[in-house]
């Protein structure tokens, strides 16, 4: 695909729930190879926008393009097959399957093997070496045989990342990758995202500003479903409108003093 197209683009993206506009005419262009953070106060529409960008919600109006190709209206599996992979904010795994089986399933999703009800599941072992590599990458190699239900919270989040990576995505959307994590896990996750961003485009919703500062090339601030400010992290952080949105008018005056 030619490089003048953004990896992911939204034009006038709008989502209405019974007259309430959760996302209101959002324009977004995520340059290929960049890390783009979506931030904003609670209720700003981040999660709705995220679900629109991955096909989990159909937009009321507007378009979505992946590398210049219109994908508006596709189902989530359609987005996945076009190289858009996502993680979930609330950890979302297959409780009874092991970590290894999770990654094997993700690796298999591109082939037709998943339809073969007349073949043995042992055939999925062709994915085992690559699955173990991915588990190793996120620090889960020792826990490959543990079922998802039995994994600790931080480990579940790591497995989420391994699953998204297994899809070899060109665009990786991470929904609050460090939510609910302890400091140590946050550092580990930041290092991991920094390592895997090479050759990929990453869009992340994130509350933790130090994580955003460490990783993001550009930041889009949402408020009431609209884009408030968009730009490089340092610029956005110093913007009065952003400080107001987060902390109220008083904070700007306080910052001025």
Partner 1 sequence: MSGVEQTTAAAGSVAVEDQAAGVRAQARATAPSGDTPAPVGGTIVPRWLRWTLAGAAALVALWLPNGLYPTVAVDIACWALFAVAVDLLLGYTGLMSFGHAAFWGTAAYATGLAAIHWGLPFPLAVLLGALAAVVLAVPVGYLAVKRVGIYFAMVTLAFAQMVYYIANQWRSVTQGENGLQRVPRELFGLDLSDEYYFYYAALPIVAGGLFLVWRTVHSPFGRVLVAIRDNPARARALGYPVHRYKLAAFLLSAFTAGLGGGLFAIGHRFVSLDVLHWTTSGKAVIIVVLGGIGTLWGPVVGAAGVTRLEDWLSFAGFEQIGLVTGAIFVLTVLIFRRGLWGTLTHWLRRR
Residue 147, token pair as written in the block = 């079922």
Q: Which stretch binds partner 1 (CB under 8 A): 35-43, 65-73, 130-138, 195-203?
A: 130-138
DSSP type of residue 115 = G
The residue count for binding partner 1 (CB under 8 A) is 55
Nearer to partner 1, 38 or 221 (CB): 38
Q: Which stretch binds partner 1 (CB under 8 A): 35-43, 144-152, 218-226, 229-237?
A: 144-152
Residue 218, token pair as written in the block = 């550009």
Q: Are 49 and 14 in contact (CB under 8 A)?
A: no
Q: Are 189 and 181 in contact (CB under 8 A)?
A: yes
Contact characters 37-56, partner 1, x per CB under 8 A: -----------------x-x
d(CA 201, CA 31): 7
Nearer to partner 1, 61 or 179 (CB): 179
| Residue 198 CB coordination number (10 Å) | 7
Q: Which stretch binds partner 1 (CB under 8 A): 38-46, 97-105, 207-215, 223-231?
A: 97-105
List 31, 97, 179, 190, residue binding partner 1 (CB under 8 A): 97
Burial class of residue 15 in the structure, from the number of CB atoms within 10 Å of its CB (0-12 exposed, 13-18 middle, 19+ buried): buried
| Residue 105 lies near partner 1 (rule: CB under 8 A) | yes
| Residue 167 lies near partner 1 (rule: CB under 8 A) | yes
What stretch of H or E contains 191?
helix 183-196
Grouping H, G, I as helix, E, B as strand and the rest as coil, residue 134 is helix
What is the pairing mode between strands 84-86 and 35-39? unpaired
Nearer to partner 1, 84 or 212 (CB): 84
| Residue 114 lies near partner 1 (rule: CB under 8 A) | yes
What is the pairing mode between strands 226-232 and 8-17? unpaired
List 17, 43, 58, 81, residue binding partner 1 (CB under 8 A): 81
Q: 54-73: which residues touch partner 1 (CB under 8 A)?
A: 54, 56
Q: Are 235 and 243 in contact (CB under 8 A)?
A: no
List 1, 123, 152, 255, residue binding partner 1 (CB under 8 A): 123
| Residue 121 lies near partner 1 (rule: CB under 8 A) | yes
| Residue 54 CB coordination number (10 Å) | 21
List 86, 157, 188, 200, residue binding partner 1 (CB under 8 A): 86
| Residue 191 lies near partner 1 (rule: CB under 8 A) | no
| Residue 89 lies near partner 1 (rule: CB under 8 A) | no
Grouping H, G, I as helix, E, B as strand and the rest as coil, residue 25 is strand
Residue 62, token pair as written in the block = 């507007």
| Residue 149 lies near partner 1 (rule: CB under 8 A) | yes
Interface with partner 1 (CB under 8 A): 54, 56, 75-77, 80-81, 85-86, 88, 92-98, 100-101, 104-106, 108-111, 113-121, 123-133, 141, 144-147, 149-150, 163, 167
């Amino acid at each position: 695909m030619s490089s003048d197209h953004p990896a992911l683009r939204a034009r006038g993206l709008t989502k209405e729930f019974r007259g309430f506009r959760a996302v209101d005419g959002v324009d977004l262009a995520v340059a290929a190879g960049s890390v783009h953070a979506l931030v904003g106060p609670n209720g700003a529409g981040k999660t709705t926008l995220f679900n629109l960008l991955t096909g989990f919600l159909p937009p009321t109006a507007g378009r979505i393009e992946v590398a210049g190709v219109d994908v508006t209206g596709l189902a989530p599996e359609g987005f996945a097959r076009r190289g858009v992979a996502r993680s979930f904010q609330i950890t979302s795994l297959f409780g009874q399957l092991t970590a290894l089986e999770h990654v094997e399933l993700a690796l298999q999703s591109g082939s037709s093997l998943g339809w073969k009800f007349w073949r043995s599941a042992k055939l999925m072992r062709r994915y085992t070496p690559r699955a173990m590599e991915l588990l190793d990458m996120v620090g889960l190699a020792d826990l490959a045989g543990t079922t998802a239900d039995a994994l600790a919270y931080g480990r579940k989040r790591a497995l989420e990342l391994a699953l998204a990576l297994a899809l070899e995505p060109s665009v990786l959307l991470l929904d609050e990758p460090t939510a609910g994590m302890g400091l140590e896990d946050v550092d580990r996750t930041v290092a991991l995202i920094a390592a895997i961003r090479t050759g990929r485009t990453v869009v992340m919703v994130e509350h933790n500003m130090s994580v955003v500062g460490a990783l993001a090339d550009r930041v889009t601030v949402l408020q009431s479903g609209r884009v408030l400010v968009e730009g490089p992290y340092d610029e956005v952080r110093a913007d009065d409108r952003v400080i107001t949105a987060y902390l109220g008018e008083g904070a700007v005056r306080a910052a001025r003093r």
